[in-house]
Structures are given as C-alpha cells and as structure tokens.
Amino acid sequence: MTDSALNPGLFHPDAVSAETTTINAAIIQAMTPMPEWWEVGAEATREARRQGRGPFPPVPKSSRATGQKIPGKAGDIPVRIIAPTATPRGVYLHIHGGGWTLDAADQQDPMLENIADTAGLVCLSVEYRLAPEHP
C-alpha cells in the first residue's frame, strides 16, 4: 500500500471510538420516529429543521453574518459571510450539507464562527439552489 492510498481499516467498526458510536446511536434513535423527508416534502422538512421541530434544536444565527449575491448564469447566488474578529488570513468556502435537498447556508453559523475565529478565515457559505425545486 502506498502512502497516498486510503486505508480501509479506518472504516472498520473497531476503528470508531466508543464516544462516536454512542453519539451515532443516539442520533439514529432520535431520528427513527421522524417521518422521512420525502413523505412530508422537502420544504416542510426544511421548515421543521429551521424551527427546531425534531430531534435537534434550531441552529442559532450569527449576528456577525452578512449577505451578498454573486451573479450566476441562472440568477444571483446568495452567499452568507462570517468574518473573523481579527485580520483575515484567507477564505473558507462552505457548501452546506443536506444532500442537495435539505439544509441551508445559515444552518452552520456556530461552526463557521469557530472556523473564522480559530483559523482566521472569512467563511463564505453558499446558498445553492435545492432539489427537487431545482433539479
């Protein structure tokens, strides 16, 4: 195996810490009674997440965040910006999760503030168009 090869042993269940296994089990248990997003619809699931209806509380929004729009071929692309408290050293481009269907650029503000301040990076979180509305 070369140094650049991915070590499959890292993905063996024994390689996962007990703490991570416990957290994963708790998340699965909390989410199991929830309806699947495709049963209630993407927008209803997005709104429930924004309001904290489900296994997780609503995500606090950063008072430091500002917005800007970048022109694109299919229209403007909103970008959420969280700058470090000190002079920036660079930029971190954040493309939020949610399987291209759920979540939003403002759903990671606490983490992005931490990255901004710890690494000294301006965090740009892209509010890309979501499926199924924009296949």
Q: What pLDDT sits at residue 3?
A: 64
pTM value is 0.78
In terms of Cα–Cα distance, which of 64, 57, 56 is closest to 85? 64
Please tell me the predicted confidence (pLDDT) of residue 1.
47
> Domain coordinates of the chain in residue numbers?
8-126
Q: Which amino acid is at 37?
A: W
Task: Tell me the three-class secondary structure of 27-69, residue by residue.
Answer: HHHHHCCCCCHHHHCHHHHHHHHHHCCCCCCCCCCCCCCEEEE
Q: Is 103 helix (H, G, I), strand (E, B) or coil?
A: coil
Q: Which residues of the chain have pLDDT under 70?
A: 1-4
Measure the CA–CA gap between 49 and 58, rounded to whole angstroms: 7
Residue 87 is encoded by which pair of tokens?
């002079």
CATH of domain 8-126: 3.40.50.1820
Residue 99: both structure tokens together: 């399987």
User: Tens digit of pLDDT for each residue in 15-30?
Assistant: 999 999 999 999 999 9
